[in-house]
Amino acid sequence: MKRKKYGAIDIGSNAIRLLLVNVFTENGVSTFKKVSLTRVPLRLGEDVFMDGKISQEKAIDFERTMIAFEHLMKVHKVDQYRATATAAMRDASNGSEIVEDVRERTGINIEVISGDEEAKIIRSTHVQDRLTAGQDFLYVDVGGGSTEISLFVNGDMAASRSFNIGTIRLLKDQVNAAKWDEMQVWLDDITKNYKGLEIIGSGGNINKIYKILNKQDWQAINYDELKGVVRELADMTYEQRIMVYRLHPDRADVIVHAGLIFQRIMKWTEGAEIHVPKLGLADGLVKSMHGELSFKDY
């Protein structure tokens, strides 16, 4: 049996994550075991979507976080790593400067990726293999800065687009009606012959909604269930969400926004159900480093 240890750093608009994974390979079959997941709620998008850049205070905290991640990967003797940054870093006017400072200080090379590349990495986990072979579906990833949507027809991607509609942007009132209309028109166009699609949902908030609904083992969320839990959460105060559902503070203030994004997409496409595999960008980064890895039974 061979073992390799991978590190995956996901620098998002709401939080930064370091996923450490062992991948075991025997007789040509690769399986994985998560070692740890470290999450830092730095919320880079809070600065960027309001001021267009990352503040000096957050830039310092970001560098401290990456130094800590560098040490963790060294202690764990990681064989290979990959670090990517998404909407907040690519929209920040000082993003490239901060990325270079981190590279010089830690040696960590951060890739600032597009929304399309982000969606491609997430899709690489092939969790859609758990659907009926050849089944048409939508893949929807909701983050702090953007929402990536892809349509799959007969197993192949037929359309894909990234929208600057995310939970942090909504929290900061940075999404106007025109942006919603743009998403709706595009969805109406690509799904006009594919109503009632299954949806695969990705992102920390839909994972938490899945848990709140006590779903497990690939059980799906229907529209009424989603609408009900979003209404319940919206009727709670911020503090109640933290106490009743044990949400992190940086989750409690955005989870309703995420639920409403999924709710609108389901309504506009007449989506049948949402499946939540609880896999995201960090898992896709591991897949990009170990191509034989399968998440089908995860």
Q: How confident is the model at residue 127 (pLDDT cuts 50, 70, 90)?
A: low
Q: For residue 298, is pLDDT > 80?
A: no
Quote the CA–CA distance of 182 and 28 in Å, as a whole number: 46
Q: How confident is the model at residue 116 (pLDDT cuts 50, 70, 90)?
A: confident
Quote the CA–CA distance of 26 and 74 in Å, as a whole number: 26
Mean pLDDT for the chain overall? 92
The per-residue pLDDT for 129 is: 65
The per-residue pLDDT for 90 is: 94
Quote the CA–CA distance of 14 and 28 in Å, as a whole number: 38
Q: For residue 254, is pLDDT > 70?
A: yes
Q: For residue 277, is pLDDT > 90?
A: no
Percent with pLDDT over 90 in the chain: 79
259 neighbors 212 (Cβ within 8 angstroms)? no
- 188-199 tens-digit pLDDT: 999 999 988 999
Read off the pLDDT of each residue in 5-26 and give the average, rounded to a whole number: 95
Domains, the chain, in order of start with CATH, read 2-115+282-289 (3.30.420.40), 126-276 (3.30.420.150)
* 147 burial type by CB count under 10 A (0-12 exposed, 13-18 middle, 19+ buried): buried
- pTM, two decimal places: 0.89
- Angle in degrees, 0-180, between the axes of helices 255-269 and 204-212, rounded to the nearest 10: 90
Q: CA 73 → CA 8, 17, 61, 122, distances in Å?
A: 10, 13, 18, 22
